[in-house]
A and B are shown apart, each in its own frame.
Chain A
């Protein structure tokens, strides 16, 4: 009895701990001023201004483009690579994962400064453009994408499926495109949501490499914050809502991919 009560209270506390900050952010975005315990008044002004600002929409669009491109590229790179490693050099998998984690060693600032120095001069003067930002963020999300792809591979029994396809006469490319890719994709996508949010929220690389030349949502929020905290809070809440939506999508995909595993 006492344990049930304790367990429930703990869950309620945890729930409050996780939701109160978000709820407060939402309330703040809807408040006129907040000088006492409760807001003095409520208004939709911050939200209206935000939605009326075309810079907000372009920044959000760029962030979506950036995160989808970065995660798409890293998955497109990782799936064939892990396929080859799983089939031909399984021992290399550990080394590969270590390499993908290497990026964590460098703070974003150092990475950005290094990239800017290298790519500010011909033959590849792409500093200040998304053409440098996208590859940089791609590398940045690699650890997350790696886990997503590796988990999907482990769940799918890639080796046995490949052998079955091979005994039916299929070559490596046919195996990859007709069997492995469609099999692991749901798992990769659900795992990839983490990578997607990491890319979406990427700030330091975006600020240093492109800054206002190609404004992303985190950079736009950073600028907004100095003008109007309420609007900045509204952006935060939108980011949370998008993350929840993606998370719900990921969970629904997870169900599908676990059904595949029991085959």
Chain B
């Protein structure tokens, strides 16, 4: 598909009973880009998506698809493909009936419709399933039907509302890859809503982290992880040890009676963050020391919870190191691994 279009939201707000679900949001999805809206439930990500789909009309602001202002255009005229959280397959129709629904509405001829349905079955890997009842399908297969149905009319945009959250972990990861591959192949502008940071990070070109109806940060997955703009993003995207510090000026900070020197962080900072994988543990005393509270084995790595003067730190270390509960360990953080919050 070559006719990829951008999506633009200009100062969009949507209130429910006086409370803003979406609060003055502006953002742009580039043509062919997959943008993820990431956040906890109730953060406004789904409402934002529904404003693009046409199921919600913003109380303020404008929505553009391509160069067209679609703010008040009815959903049925927007030419967007949408995959719903629970798929919303039509239970009275077969797999082919579901996939061909949009084409039937558009009055395609029987031959053309059938050919297109076959083509889509091939795309989503369900050849031979056309006559099956949707009730007889597994979750992953239903998801594929929902996707094929959304793509049938070659929509200008693809909207995915928690498309994988109803699936088992294994199928979820499988379909994640497949969905991303298909999206790249079609080059279709895609908006993905998810509460799963791993899903957002692995699929999206850029991620918007939302909280309380506002954008906390917009950036590439790498940016969000390496340079989280707020403590919320730091904690929501990956894991983060957040520690209260006292600034001593000149890049010096006091943390648990120890002074550490980080020139790159402004003196106004009151919280420092460090990712668990950047905390190294050793059996001898180092800068900080603490007692092992819990060791969680994760396969290639293990997660160690350490009590450091009644603050809990999480460290992620290789599985070659052996720690036991109650053991006193030394903790070290390279000075460039600290993030100012």
Contact = CB atoms under 8 A, between A and B. Distances in A.
Interface of A: 156-157, 160-161, 163-171, 174, 178-179, 182-183, 259-260, 262-263
B76 A171 contact: yes
Contacts of B87: 263
Given A163-B75, A262-B135, A168 B88 contact: no
Contact of B84 (A163, A170, A259, A260): A163
A168 B92 contact: no
B82 A170 contact: no
Contacts of A156: 91
Contact of B149 (A168, A178, A260): A168
A166 B86 contact: no
Interface string B101-116: 1101110000000000
* Interface size band for B: 20 to 34
B82 A167 contact: yes
B55 A263 contact: no
A168 B53 contact: no
Contacts of A164: 82, 84, 88-90, 149
A169 B135 contact: no
B55 A168 contact: no
B106 A179 contact: no
A164 B149 CA distance: 10
Contacts of B30: none
B120 to A, nearest CB: 13
B142 interface: yes
Contacts of A167: 53-54, 75-76, 78, 80-82, 150, 159
B317 interface: no
A160 B89 CA distance: 9
Contact of B90 (A161, A169, A171): A161
Given A163-B53, A262-B135, A263-B91, 12 more contacts: A156-B91, A157-B86, A160-B84, A163-B75, A163-B84, A164-B84, A167-B53, A167-B78, A167-B81, A168-B150, A260-B91, A263-B86
Contacts of A171: 76
Interface in B69-99: 74-82, 84, 86-93
A179 B90 contact: yes
Given A167-B80, A169-B76, A160 B149 contact: no
Interface in B204-254: none
Contacts of B106: 169
Contacts of A166: 54-55, 74-76
